[in-house]
Amino acid sequence: NYLKIFSPATVANVSCGFDALGLALETVGDTMTFTKTITKGVKITKITGADLPSDPQINAAGVVALAMLEKHPVDFGIDITIHKGYTPGSGLGSSAASAAGAAFGVNQLLGNSFSPLELTQFAMLGEEATCGTPIADNVSAAIYGGFTLVRSYKPLSIVKIPVPADLRVVAIHPQVEVKTKDSREVLPKEVSLKDAVTQWANVGGLISGLYTNDYQLIADSLTDIIVEPARKHLIPHFDEVKQQAIKAGALGAGISGSGPTIFTLCKGDATAENVYKTIQNTYQDKQIDFNMILSKINTEGI
């Protein structure tokens, strides 16, 4: 009758895989509770850690919960509390963490009626309500854990990709606002065949590297020649951070989702700590507040 869960923050795109790849973090995310109530319907009784609407019709978690109860009517209601463990608008899938968490939590109270794929579909409704587009990269990573590939949107098909054990994520979240909507408006409408070939070859290389623990192949493939060049001007000091991170040993660096967070992948704790310190030093004198993250990859999902 009561459930408490942790729903992870996620890095979408992972450089070359725009709207198709995501990964889940172990140490950053939302904590949510779900309680069965006598009064029917969905109520968001408490939100801490961020200023978000508690009306379930417009809250990412509420939208998802309502859709699930409509599909699977029951004679009880559900109260939800949300503690946001990180800032919305960071590019770390904040709305996705709440949406995916709601899908998972409500499903438990409904006796596990829906599959992970169906939960992803419900969670996408929360993304649509908050960002305007029903993107699956963040929510699938939160639900399945590890790396996920959205292999197809219609019909929805999600592939869970294995995670090499030594992979770490170091990220910096500069406190500037980048709205997903704005960040999608700067994208090119068309790409050349030459660029498309480079990009899909890198996606293949990255996936292959993850399956075979080939860190060099992961490093070589972790580039984005289509989306990153169009967006990076929205993120202060992006090039400098990326350059310094790679110099300090990161396998690669890129924009987390639609930004402004910059993520890096690193092999092993020592390198990750070095990259962490290097990025921190790079940003120290920039007059912009920022948060740093060092995390393992969450392989289990919610």
Q: Which residues does the annotation mark as catalytic?
A: 127, 180
List interacting residues with ligand HSE (CB under 6 A): 12-13, 18-19, 135, 137-138, 180, 183-184, 257-258
| Residue 197 tokens, joined | 């070939």
The two tokens of residue 277 are: 């310190």
CB of residue 106 to ligand HSE, shortest distance in Å: 21
CB nearer to ligand HSE: give 52 or 135. Answer: 135
Give 38's DSSP letter.
S
DSSP code string of 31-44: EEEEEEESS-EEEE
> Least separation, in Å, of the C-beta of 231 and ligand HSE?
8
91 vs 248, beta carbon nearer ligand HSE? 91
Q: Is 145 left (phi over 0), alpha (psi -120 to 50) or beta?
A: left
Residue 263 near residue 253 (C-beta atoms within 8 A)? yes
Pick the closer one to ligand HSE by CB: 121 or 138.
Answer: 138
CA dihedral sign, ordered 194, 228, 201, 189:
negative
Rounded alpha-carbon distances, angstroms, from residue 200 to 37, 193, 207, 275: 49, 10, 11, 28
Nearest residue (CB) to ligand HSE, 109 versus 234 = 234
Quote the least distance from Cβ 8 to ligand HSE, whole Å: 14
Other CB atoms within 10 A of residue 235 CB:
23
Written as six digits, the tokens of 284 are 């120290």
CB of 127 to ligand HSE, least distance (A): 7
Q: Which residue has the tokens 């019909």?
A: 155
Supply 48's token pair.
Answer: 């801490």
Shortest spacing between CB 138 and ligand HSE, in angstroms: 5
| Nearest approach, Cβ of residue 255 and ligand HSE (Å) | 8
146 Cβ neighbours under 8 A, 6+ residues apart? 23, 24, 160, 161, 162, 163, 297, 298, 299, 301
Chain centroid to CA 61: how far? 15
Comparing CB distances to ligand HSE, the nearer of 30 and 137 is: 137
Alpha carbon distance 244, 53 (integer Å): 39
Q: Which is nearer to ligand HSE, 180 or 298 (CB)?
A: 180
